[in-house]
Structure 1
Amino acid sequence: MFLFISGAEIVFILFLVVMIFGADKLPDIARELGKGMRQLKDATNEVKSEIQKSAEKNGLDKDVTKGISEEIGKVRDDIEDFTGSVKRKL
């Protein structure tokens, strides 16, 4: 699970959000959260491509960038897991 948050804790957080903002604001909040996650994913991909371009330009071994790419992939997967669980709860 992402950030060691269990399903019950996510439900509790969503309950608090509904109580604070109201059910009518929930779709707007979810939409903005989705946009933010998309921007984060795009920025991650951009950083990854810049690192690869820089490594190729400077003649660095691709194994160095492979490790970085794997770490970025793990972060992206965690983000997708988190957003998937949020989408299922909404």
Structure 2
Amino acid sequence: MPSPSIHQTVNQPTLLPVVRRVILQLDQLYLEFSHLGDAVDRERLAELYVQWLSAGRTGPSGLRFYAQALGASLPDGDSRVAFTAQAEGVLVHLQSGYAH
């Protein structure tokens, strides 16, 4: 699982614990599908996270936008499709009330 420190350098609003947990899950999933190299992957995650925060959609319903941005940034079409399917599973799990 990625270190929570990936996003700690950003001045960020108070996020719900469930939102933080899902972000960590989505970040881990992104790292599994992106093969650009650890430093590049983590830099890209940080950039996308800042963009997501800037958009102001930081509640549970805004996580879909974060997942979409992560998927769109993957370099390979097959990876994007697989990531999107698995990320959707994470979000559906969240919506069902069983995010952990």
**TM-score per shorter chain, which class?**
0.3 to 0.5
The structure with more radius of gyration: 1
Q: Which has the higher helix share?
A: 1
TM-score normalised to the size of structure 1? Answer: 0.34
